[in-house]
Amino acid sequence: MSWKNESSVKEFWLLGFHNPHNLKIPLFILFLVIYISILSGNLLIIVLVLVSRYLNSPLYFFLSNLSWSDIILTTVVIPTMLAILLTNGKSMSFSGCIIQLYLFGSSTIAECFLLTVMSYDRYLAICNPLHYYLIMDLRLRVLLVAWSWVFAYLLTMITVSQMSQLHYCGPNVIDHFLCDPTSLMKLSCSDTSAIELQNLIMGLPVTLVPVGFITVTYTYILITILKITSSAGRQKAFSTCSSHLAVVCIYYGTLITLYVIPSKSLSVDLTKVQSLLYTVMTPLFNPIIYSLRNYEIQTVIKRIIYKKHCLH
């Protein structure tokens, strides 16, 4: 993939948010706390899954990979946001912008695929519990996760390599807090209609097809749950699936609105707020709604704390 820049523009200027000057420090502190919380929560999940034999089920294997995706996504986005808040904007070289675009795009697409894999995992666990571990063995888990990451990197490489060949002759101001494809194409002097059509077509396997698959799996899951006679069993199943479904609705809903069927009527500020939903808020809430309130996770944490207390 060639990132050679033949354009007159050698760097871009990211504007970030249009906020009053007296809110810059409070917002900086807020996003710094959010970033630390995201790293802490997701790293905790990864470490617990690695070290605890009680968390060796397929669900936690997928959750740990989702946590990796969240860490990459937020590390690509939030430090840039913090720099913008401190300096009233941030310059980024052409190559730096392309690298951010690649990491941002690949981690976003990987999360899409991982959420789809997790819906299949929930489908097997609830609709086919007797054969769940037989079907979802270690080989299948690794294959599903590996293909999620490989496809994410390959699909992103196609778009990013083409965008790196576009001509940028000025202006160089990006009214956003990151180098996203829509903002870059608006600044290009080249004809971007082919890339826009390609992105629309590629949006089908990344968003609409997974959403259709998740809808079908959850239809079967709902039918199965309604057949459960035990109220405790129904409540446990609903609790597990509702968390995943809430994240799916927020994440996919935002992506489809922004990139698959973008509306010309959306203001720039509203677009930034929507971007925050899946680049910052979803990674923040994922450890909480998926794992930290999960009984097995809480049990493992209590055991670790108890062992440390006994040692002292």
pLDDT in tens, 80-135: 989 888 887 888 888 899 999 999 999 999 999 999 999 999 999 999 989 999 99
Encode 7-40: b = buried (16+ Cβ within 10 Å), e = exposed.
bebeebebbbbeeeeeebeebbeebeebbeebbe
Q: Which domains does the chain have, with CATH numbers?
A: 11-311 (1.20.1070.10)
Which DSSP category does 164 fall into? T
Residues 6+ apart with CB under 8 A from 184: 97, 101, 163, 166, 168, 174
**pLDDT at residue 152, as a whole number:** 94
Instruction: Write down the pLDDT at residue 260.
Output: 62
57: which residues sit within 8 A by CB, 6+ positions away? none
Task: Please give the Cα distance from 281 to 284 (Å, whole number).
Answer: 5
pLDDT in tens, the chain (312 residues): 444 555 567 888 888 877 666 778 888 999 999 999 999 999 999 999 998 888 888 988 999 999 999 999 999 999 998 988 888 788 888 889 999 999 999 999 999 999 999 999 999 999 998 999 999 999 999 999 999 999 999 999 988 988 888 888 878 888 888 888 888 888 888 888 888 888 778 877 788 888 899 999 999 998 998 888 777 777 777 777 777 888 888 788 777 777 666 555 566 777 787 788 888 888 888 888 776 667 777 788 778 777 766 655
| Residues 6+ away with beta carbon under 8 Å from 173 | 12, 13, 15, 187
Total-model pTM? 0.87
Cα torsion for 306, 307, 311, 312, to the nearest 10°?
-30
The per-residue pLDDT for 176 is 86
End-to-end CA distance of the chain: 55
pLDDT digits (tens, 9 = 90+) for 142-161: 999 999 999 999 999 988 98
Q: Which residues contact 240 (CB under 8 A, 6 or more apart)?
A: 122
Measured between alpha carbons, how far is 88 from 22 in angstroms, rounded to an integer? 12
